[in-house]
Amino acid sequence: MDKVIRIGTRDSQLALWQAHQVNDLLTAQGYRTELVPIKSEGDIDLVTPLYEIGVQGIFTKSLDLALLNNRIDVAVHSFKDVPTQLPQQITHAAILQRGPVTDLLVYKNNTDFLEQPGYIANIATSSVRRKAQWLRKYPEHQLHNLRGNVNTRLQKLAAENWDGAIFAAAGLERIHVRPATSIELDWMLPAPAQGAVVAVCRDNDTFCLEACASFNHAATALATHIEREFLRTLMGGCTTPISAYAYIEHNTVLFKGELCSLDGTQLFSVSREVPLDQATHLGQEAAQDIMAQGGAEIVAQIRNVK
């Protein structure tokens, strides 16, 4: 095992945490590794709302280019940031066991405002999915854009006159920065593949494919495949309020998916329970169900807004 596997990663604290997970799994098997931090477009431009940047792959493009240019051998991504269509010559090498999937509200002073009818709270998030779901529940609230890595967003929340901001539980908990002033939003359905980490490599690199295959987590791989297939069939990306969550229980796959209008006023949802051995096309079938309910019109409207 003389070959050194160069692991590409964004240089944020959370991205480095993810890369170290892959690094540790490889070194535990005797592979030699090296971390290669690379800046992404999504990290450099912290002002433009995500939906105004050509979002597909904004956090993955720089790493994918480094992979194709042979500067690195493996790229590690937060799976929910990865476009459903991978660049040619790049393939999934391993999906790690999933962490927490929920979203959190980090609040400033208390959560009393959630129970106060007529109070116009100021809530921050850059995710159109979170915005749409929040507005569906709290239509009178004001939403604000919040970009940057986890630590930057927490600092911005502290500095601004906002009531709270929405974060992924996995991001805060993995780097041990979840504040005591946070609550789980158990009513908010997560983004497809939220809480999962993926390692990708060149599709002809049999050495790295074999090295990573040993830590691919089959249950997470299936669940995230179903969620991303749901997303892909609805032709959504970071700019579409699409939520999905699949998990396995007693050889049954349980799935829930949602498509929301940008302002939260319209919602189409689907729930399915399917035997494990019949779940391969579950995401696609659930998405087709949403489209038939009237979701196709929402997708068309969102496309026209872009």
CA distance 116 to 104: 20
The residue annotated as part of the active site, out of 43, 73, 81, 103, is: 81
Strand order in the sheet with 4-9: 32-37, 4-9, 74-78, 197-202, 90-95
Known catalytic membership, residue 81: yes
Alpha-carbon span 62 to 261, nearest angstrom = 31
Q: How far apart are CA 71 and CA 97, in angstroms?
A: 27
Burial state string for 12-38 with b = 16 or more CB within 10 A and e = fewer than 16: bebbbbbbebbbebbeeeebebebbeb
Tokens of 162: 């906002």
CA 290 remoteness from chain centre: 21
The residue assigned the tokens 């295959």 is 213
Neighbours of 91 (CB within 10 A): 14
Catalytic residue numbers, as ranges: 81
